[in-house]
Structure 1
Amino acid sequence: MLLLWKQMFLLSFVGCLGDLENLKTKMRSTVSVREGQGVVLLCGPPTHSGEHSYAWIFNEYPSFVQEDSRRFVSQETGHLYIAKVEPSDVGNYTCVVTSTVTNAKVLGSPTPLVLRTDGVMGEYEPKIEVQFPESLPAAKGSVVKLECFALGNPVPRINWRRADGMPFPSKVMLRKSNGMIEIPNFQQEDAGLYECITENSRGKNVARGRLTYYAKPHWVQLIKDFEAAVEDNLYWECRASGKPKPSYRWLRNGEPLALEGRIQIENGALIITNLNLTDSGIYQCIAENKHGTIYSSADLRVVASAPDFSKSPMKKLIQLLIGSTAHFDCKPKSSPKATTTWKKGGELLQENERISLLKDGGLRIANVSKSDAGSYTCLAENQFGKASSSTSLLVTEPTRITLAPSNMDVSVGESVILPCQVQHDPLLDISFTWYFNSALTDFRKDASHFERVGGSASGDLMIRNIQLKHSGKYVCMVKTEVDSVSSAADLIVRGSPGPPERVKVDEITATTARLTWHEGLDNHSPIASYTIQARTPFSVGWQRVTTVPDVIDGKTFTATAVDLNPWVEYEFRIVASNKIGGGEPSLPSEKVRTEEAVPEVPPSEVSGGGGSRSELVITWDPVPEELQNGEGFGYVVAFRPLGVTTWIQTVVTSPDTPRYVFRNESILPFSPYEVKVGVYNNKGEGPFSPVTTVYSAEEEPTIAPSGVSANSLSSSVIEVSWVSIPWKMSSGRLLGYEVRYWNNGGKEQSSNRIKAIGNETSVRITDLMSNLVYYTAVRAYNSAGAGPFSATVNATTKKTPPSQPPGNVVWNVTDSRVMLNWEQVHAMENESEVIGYKILYRTSSQNELSVLMTNRTSAELLLPLNDDYIIEVKAVTDGGDGISSEQIKIPKLASMDARGSGAAVLNGLSSCMSITLYFIFKVVLC
């Protein structure tokens, strides 16, 4: 038994929201069904309500009914179909209608669904409640939707198929419930008989419907405005496609075209023979079938005119090669078509084996020669008049390449010339163009490599400093106004090889790496050998490595790098070489680390000494990381007193540590020890360094120097002297003495210090302040430290020399004697007293100074006569030398007398010169 609730009302609906509002006012009665029974809940929207979609709310918004194999909402009727009611379906159902134009939504009144209590519905076969028409026309390109749904218990399964067995194309879509099939962009191949099969365990039912294809007419070929001459024939075609096939009609000036003997329509084409002026007008071609009508319009103009060359004159000049064929067009505008004749000069042309008068009015002359050159005229005539047009024919010699480029082999860096020389008609201009691998050569852009050389009849190409990229085909193209010729040559550039490829480390040990690679480009010169290079974090760039085999020939693509350092990260690359040279290196291999091994290199520069009392200090240069050969690297320090057989050993675990200090109160000062330092890592112990002798820490001096004295030498220098301390070699080595000094305005704690190295027992302290008391003390020191200071002594620096130089220096020359006189220098109260004077003199060509000392204000010099002399005078004091007088330049002396006073000279005295002090001493002034 099937209970259907089908209450609905019909109102006019024109797609406005007001009509949809009426849906709300319809009262809904309770629908009572048995469990397992099928039911249809009717939506009942107004008829003609426009485009809209349907959905159903279950109980409350927004809980919508979800479509599945048991529930289906028809988008044709809006009804809700439940194939088999279950207890969970009990509730209120509300139909929702949505306008697809405005997106406005209207809800109907709720419909209660309840279960009857008088039993459960038994099983029954599918009953199709929603099905598509038996025949349904579908337009081309439209979207076709077919609905099919059945009630039944158990819930029926729905399947779709084509009756002809053809599979559905991928564009066909099925709804979730399988209750609707959608075919977008409907085409003729989609037409056919479709079947909806509903089936359950109680039976099956089938709904069938045929989709037929139709298409409105659409244009394949439109007519266009056309101009024709009187007496011509017209064939005007318009074509359209459609389903069913369209028929055609023609109109002229809006009226049906009357068919007569010279006017016919064949398959839509309009045919008019022997056109006259009355055939002009607006024409329409109409294509139609039962689904639509389309129009195409155009203007037909039938014209009558005398021949006219104004829009199609003949070329003024035609240039041709000897032996070619000349074509002369003669196409004046003319209605009807004009008859034509041809003249050369004033002579009428007649046809022969070389001359042809063409049907279209043109002229053809085969195998032209120099004698065919001249003026040609076409004369055109019809019943409305006549006209003419002329041209000139120039016949020239062909262009020939007399010296063509040839194939060449060159090496990178060389320069070559590719010749291209021609013979051509002197009446024609000629141009040369070069192409490289089909690309036009730009001589301005590529001026560093390409240059055209040669005369007017030569287009030779020079290529400088050839590179690999210049390998290829070169074409010389020669053009004139009438012909062109070309010649090609291949240029092979041989260069050093390209980089090898796919470098790979196949096998790695502690000291070796087996590599493989693939051959790169040989750049037209066979590869002769390969070289392996390596790089580590410790190397300076890439370094060549030793290999097995020692020489890797060009046919070998595997080799082993040997003598590598263990536990070091390596990269490898390969360089190929040929007779041109070494090529670019390959890309680096992946980084690989060699395996660990026992260390082989002990530390270098093992030494020691120094430190504090009771210490033995041992030092070494740490082993570089690349020679540590593995993790867990450290040092084994071994030592023993000289003459003892047993070694004392200790371990230093830090690989960067450069020293070890052994402390023991039993260690005597400056005792000799034999020392060696070994290495180890996780793989084991390596070798020791050679045994060397290291002394324990020395004993610092315990007594102060005696006999300390200080003497002032000048206004800025004090000399300090002392007596050496007694010293025993068993206590160590005395390195020297330290002198501390400070002035009476300073503090002892911030005193300055100066050292005397070794056994020196005096030192000069310089750069002191003048006329000031300085205190000094002395102590001895060695590597263990310094001893006590001596008692303090003092000395006062002398006053500064006078700030006044000797003035008014006057000289007088008699023969080779130079007499000098100057004013006495008077010291001020804070300056040292003058005790004498220095006369410094030298030749202008030498730097060595001679010095004469005197305690007077005059002096006599005996000088040779062969050079210029420069002389100056200084005051001498206990505090040092005073300021020099102005320099005097005495010119070369002759047998004449001369005199003068102090004057500036061109070259001053050197700031550091050798000075000879006559009668007294020789010193160096700085």
Structure 2
Amino acid sequence: MDFFNFRLFFLLASAVVCCSADILKNDKVKGVLGKNVKFNTTFDGSEYLSLSWNFGSVNIVTASKVKVAIANAYTDRVKLNKTTGMMELGPLNAADNGMYQLIIVTQELQTLTGDSELKVLEPVSSVTITSDPPKEAVESNSSVVLTCTAKGSFLKYTWLNNTVPVVADGKRLILNADGNILSVKDVQRWDLRGPIYCRAGNDLEEETSAAFNMTVSYGPEKVVLVQTPTSSVLATGAMVTLACSSVSSPDATYQWMHNGAPMKDTTASITLENVNEKNSGNYTCVAFNAKTKRYIASNMALFTVIEPIKGTTITRVGAATPLIAKDSSIQLTCKAVAGTVASTKWTKDGVDLVVSERVVLSKKMDMLNISMVQREDAGLYKCVLKNAVNSLEGNYTMVVNYGPEGIKMVGPKAVEITDRVEIKCTAESYPVATYSWKLNGTKLEPTTSMFIIEQPSFRDTGTYTCTAHNPLTNGTASSTHTLAVKEEGALDEGLSGGAIAGIIIGVLIALAIVIGVVMHMRKKKDIPSPY
């Protein structure tokens, strides 16, 4: 049976209609141009006499359980499931838009029908983002409009910042009614940090644009200057580094200022080597963003360059003649070869110098005057010169010559001819005194402080005179001592008074004991006998 006769049979069978039912799942079907679409049914696949799909007045396909006939125009575009009646049509073209009808005649000669409208949609493609201004904006100064364009039917648009959907707030972030235009007012650096995507689609498919990146220029801000080392006072010859940083896109350029005047340096950091007093003052850096046209100044670095103290010495003014106690005066000056002196301090023997009417310091503390020096003025003097970068001290050892004074002699008053004799003469003196001796006015040979007679004779009796002499002060002092030399045993005068007193006390104690015993015995004889 050819297709015409098969279709005629179908028409005759369908002429006997007792009832109809909706046997299609959807009364509206959408398909994509160039792709296939399926018309799904709700038919349970029971026995039927005939099945036919029509497009308007055009019969597309007619089938029975044993045979399927497809119109020539649809031979390569239609697939039919004979059991359920599902038809797959494609690839679709624009002429496929319209109403489709399924007619099934059952074994009971019941006719079942279903109608569905097909809309052929244009494929989604060419999803593209354009911006105004293109690619670059200035934070807070610019408003940006992003437009998403695409090809396709019944399109809807979604904006993504990376993977997060962009949510319009109606104030700064605004979407038009179609959703394909995103306006950003007073753009901020994070608004379009992205990448930004536009996703266009309909009920059947969607496509995402290429990544879009908007460069938002901002800054400079948080401009910070760091000084290394951080000291506010530097020594001449030192090195100092000044580093400037800021938050800026694109990176800022820098202009350095010294005491308000521009420097030639434009790098982010500068190093000042071998600084001197001319480098003292305040420093700032000014950051500039060529895109935003904004200038921001940093905090201020302030330091002073001071020359370190060098070559501190204490110098005696005038002739360096020996100092004689109670006769000489001295003037000392404390100076440095180089450097700025901020303070001066004097010490003597490790403790602060005590000033007095005799010991006087000048107002500038650089000169010390001691009038009529005393022996206690001798010692180690130091002056410490100090400024903010260093301190240095000078030393001077003061020697005061004095004496002799406080002379005294120590020795026996009387000796026997067999005794060894030592007479010592001492005197306080600096430098150490020399000594001379005389006996009864006659000069003796010894020149030391100790006069020794190994075996004295009667002619060694007399008055000894010791004279101490300080060769530097030319001072002398004398003392005398009388010595008597006697025969052997002449100095043995019996028991001493102490020994005699001890003997007497011992005799008295013994006598008391004897008297006590006698009295006790007499009492015993006076007791009457009991017999």
TM-score band w.r.t. shorter chain: 0.3 to 0.5
TM-score, structure 1 normalization: 0.24
TM-score, structure 2 normalization: 0.39
Higher helix share: 2
- Larger RCO, structure (CA 8 Å, separation 6 or more): 2
